[in-house]
């Protein structure tokens, strides 16, 4: 069976950040790539798909990542690798108020996501494969430094 993928199709792997608050966020993913051959892999992850790591704020109480507002995004280019040596990619952003006495709006919550999106339509034949293996997913948070001299 031949699989056809239309331009603009998206695959989203998202996770809500529980008890989110203002501070420095760093989302790191360790990825290995494989498939039928390096050339098939390179075709899919260089010409057909674009890949991004994203920090997002949910737009509503449904917490649908398709409706979320992107706060930070970094493109990454996966590579054909040995599974023992994944390549790391990250996105990092301070999500907090930069003004004294003001709070950062968490809104309906924050989430992290890995988004793959087609930039050109393509087909995958039954004898071809290209895949990503996520070997590490880590979110680190450093709270905003509290300035006790600020009073409101």
Task: Note whether 48 and 5 are within 8 A (CB).
Answer: yes
pLDDT band at residue 42, thresholds of 50, 70 and 90? very high
CA-to-CA distance for 88 and 101, rounded, in angstroms? 37
CA-to-CA distance for 133 and 34, rounded, in angstroms? 8
- 149 found inside a domain: no
Where in the sequence is the domain holding 8, given as residue range(s)?
A: 3-143
The per-residue pLDDT for 68 is 95
- 49 found inside a domain: yes
Residues 93-127 have pLDDT tens digits of 998 876 766 677 788 999 999 999 999 988 878 88
- 150 found inside a domain: no
pLDDT band at residue 131, thresholds of 50, 70 and 90? very high
The per-residue pLDDT for 112 is 98
- Which CATH number covers residue 89? 2.60.120
The per-residue pLDDT for 101 is 65
As given in the structure block, the two tokens for residue 34 are 């494989």
Per the prediction, the chain carries an average pLDDT of 89
- 92 found inside a domain: yes
Total number of domains in the chain: 1
- 23 found inside a domain: yes
pLDDT at 47 over 90: yes
The per-residue pLDDT for 105 is 77
How many CB atoms are located within 10 Å of the residue 33 CB?
Answer: 22
CA-to-CA distance for 42 and 28, rounded, in angstroms? 22
């Amino acid at each position: 069976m031949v699989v056809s993928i239309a331009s603009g199709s998206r695959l989203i792997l998202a996770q809500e950040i529980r008890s989110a608050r203002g501070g420095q966020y760093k989302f790191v993913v360790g990825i290995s790539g494989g498939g039928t051959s390096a050339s098939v892999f390179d075709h899919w992850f260089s010409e057909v798909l674009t890949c991004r790591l994203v920090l997002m704020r949910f737009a509503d109480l449904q917490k649908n990542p398709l409706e979320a507002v992107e706060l930070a995004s970094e493109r990454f280019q996966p590579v054909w690798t040995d599974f023992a040596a994944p390549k790391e990619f990250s996105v990092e952003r301070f999500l907090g108020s930069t003004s004294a006495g003001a709070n950062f709006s968490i809104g309906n919550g924050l989430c992290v996501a890995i988004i793959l999106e087609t930039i050109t339509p393509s087909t995958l034949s039954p004898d071809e494969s290209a895949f990503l293996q996520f070997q590490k997913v880590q979110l680190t948070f450093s709270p905003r430094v509290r300035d006790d001299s600020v009073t409101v």
